[in-house]
Amino acid sequence: MDDCIFCQLIKEPHHINFLLEDEVGIAFNDINPQAPTHCLVIPKRHVASAKELGEKDVALLGHLMGLCQQVASLTGIHKEGYRYVMNTGENGGQTVNHLHFHVLGGRRMGWPPG
């Protein structure tokens, strides 16, 4: 998708330091961190949001979850706990229309979310 900022990041990787990359996805630090550790895990394939996901995407989701787990281990947040977030649509607070998991940790998270 030409007008998607995350597709642009994937195409022009010198703009960003990837924490992890494989054939399916990438992980990188969020530009506006909301916690001491705040990374994003995204698929290389453009998927606009979780609204588009279904049974056909089981393998993709499993793979992305594996990348999230690796990010949690690499950053050390797996020891104390962490939070995965996938904002979806307007009311969900999604601002970038390319599927992404937020991986947040390094502080105690509040509940309920804002």
Indicate if 100 belongs to the active site. yes
Q: How far apart are CA 101 and CA 60, in angstroms?
A: 13
Whose Cβ is closer to ligand AMP: residue 42's or residue 72's? 42
Q: How far apart are CA 5 and CA 109, in angstroms?
A: 28
Whose Cβ is closer to ligand AMP: residue 6's or residue 72's? 6
Closest distance to ligand AMP from the beta carbon of 88 (Å): 8
Angle at 68 between CA 92 and CA 55, to 5 degrees: 65
Closest distance to Zn ion from the beta carbon of 96 (Å): 8
DSSP 3-state percent helix, strand, coil across the chain (nearest 5): 35, 20, 45
Residue 21 interacts with which of Zn ion, ligand AMP, none, CB < 5 to 8 Å by class: none
Q: Which chain residues interact with ligand AMP by CB under 6 A? A: 5, 30-32, 40, 87, 93-96
Whose Cβ is closer to Zn ion: residue 12's or residue 79's? 12
DSSP string, 1-33: -TT-HHHHHHH-GGGS-EEEE-SSEEEEE-SS-
Closest distance to ligand AMP from the beta carbon of 34 (Å): 7
Residue 4 interacts with which of Zn ion, ligand AMP, none, CB < 5 to 8 Å by class: Zn ion
Q: How far apart are CA 97 and CA 79, in angstroms?
A: 31
Q: Just list the catalytic residues.
A: 100
